[in-house]
């Protein structure tokens, strides 16, 4: 069973960048030649979203890295989905491992945050992934399925959801899941969607891989049948390298 959606590549800039470096990065992206059949999204830090939306080509959509669980109000330091929509943001990343394991967000909170964002019209890049000790204990699918269930408990319409599988042990470490390891989990996620949600959702939902993706490994990963794109961290801060990863869609087309 393989997905039927367009290739999707997101760039998560995390807590990086300055006015000057982001201007340079946007200039590199604006002048790049990106294949037609790939959806491209970048996620700047909140402070720079206005700068990016005001200067980035319409070819690339803008995502936030997080948003609050509901409408705005007396929540110091938070940003609401309503505010993101107001300034032209199209997507939000939810459930990234750094939010889970550094900030301490629970599966249930992430599910609620995702549902609220979807209710406001944002697309959600819904992250899942296991830590090294969980993989070594053969608990990868158990952990990922628990995380998926928390999304499913709150989400009724999956049409604007992209699932990002990011093994925690591969994020920023230089370690990458082998194409076979990644494909195995992506296939398991698609089977879970078919069983728990519907076959239609399983076929339509894009499942992308994240975890030290770069120019040299993206083509081999893209060839796997259930890998529908990437969520890129460090390499997304380098315009030419990020574009090369976006253009790995050509490897996907050859494989198909």
Measured distance CA(113)–CA(234) in Å, rounded:
25
Closest C-alpha to 15, from 129, 96, 110: 96
HSE of 128, CA atoms in CB hemisphere, 13 A: 26
Task: Decide if 154 is catalytic.
Answer: no
3-state secondary structure of 20: helix
Maximum CA pair distance of the chain? 52
How would you class 119 by CB atoms within 10 Å of its CB: exposed for 0-12, middle for 13-18, buried for 19 or more?
Answer: middle
Report residue 72 as tokens: 């705005």
Task: Decide if 101 is catalytic.
Answer: no
Opening angle at CA 64, ends 15 and 105, nearest 5: 75
Q: Which of 96, 105, 130, 134 is catalytic?
A: 96
Q: Which of 105, 130, 166, 241 is catalytic?
A: 166
Which residues does the annotation mark as catalytic? 96, 166
């Amino acid at each position: 069973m393989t997905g039927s959606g367009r290739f999707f590549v997101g760039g998560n800039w995390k807590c990086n960048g300055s006015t000057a470096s982001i201007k340079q990065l946007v200039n590199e992206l604006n002048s790049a030649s990106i294949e037609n059949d790939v959806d491209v999204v970048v996620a700047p830090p909140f402070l720079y979203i206005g700068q990016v939306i005001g200067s980035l080509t319409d070819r690339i959509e803008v995502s936030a890295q997080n948003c609050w669980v509901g409408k705005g109000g007396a929540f110091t330091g938070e940003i609401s989905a309503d505010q993101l929509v107001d300034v032209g943001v199209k997507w939000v990343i939810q459930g990234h491992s750094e939010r889970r394991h550094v900030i301490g967000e629970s599966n249930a909170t992430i599910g609620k945050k995702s549902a609220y964002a979807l209710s406001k019209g944002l697309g959600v890049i819904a992250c899942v992934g296991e830590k090294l000790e969980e993989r070594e204990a053969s608990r990868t699918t158990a952990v990922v399925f628990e995380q998926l269930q928390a999304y499913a408990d709150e989400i009724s319409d999956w049409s604007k959801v992209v699932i990002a599988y990011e093994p925690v042990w591969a994020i920023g470490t230089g370690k990458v899941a082998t194409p076979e390891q990644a494909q195995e989990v992506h296939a398991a996620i698609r089977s879970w969607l078919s069983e728990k949600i519907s076959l239609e959702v399983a076929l339509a939902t894009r499942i992308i891989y994240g975890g030290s993706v770069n120019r040299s490994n993206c083509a081999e990963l893209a060839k796997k049948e259930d890998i529908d794109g990437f969520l890129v961290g460090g390499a997304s801060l380098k315009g030419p390298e990020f574009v090369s990863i976006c253009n790995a869609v050509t490897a996907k087309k050859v494989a198909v």
